[in-house]
Structure 1
Amino acid sequence: MKGYDPHEARDLFPADQWEKATASQPNGDQCVEWNFGTPGRVGLRDSNHPDGPVLVFDEAEWSAFQEAVKAEQTRQA
């Protein structure tokens, strides 16, 4: 999504609505968090750096991102 600064994008999302990927727990808490708290946007950040940059996706970008991750997981299996 264009038009945002990744270092200030965390202010676009409610602080209490970040969710951590439960599947990442066995990996020593090296995981991402997402936030669906802003209509039409999805925030994605490193759970170890909650004050760091946030990637912002619109709905179409989020779907494409998820499909790419799934395709990579399938390719590596």
Structure 2
Amino acid sequence: MSGELMFLSSSGCTNCWGTPGCTLRRPVEYREQGCANVQNWIDTSVAKLKTASAQALAEAALNMSSIEWQKTYLG
């Protein structure tokens, strides 16, 4: 799995800015469940992305449901 995809997955990545489990998909999933206080987490996570591929994956993560993400990227 590429580094960009790892940071977006819920696989317990340890490459997410040094914090185990710190993923973009997690706050998106929390937002889907109705948690209101995750937008800052999402915004700061996206702001730290440097590569075009990471930014493209983030855009996909933010514009798909968790189920769509799993079917598309995790099989």
Structure 2 length normalisation: TM-score? 0.28
Say which structure is richer in strand. 1
Q: Which has the higher helix share?
A: 2
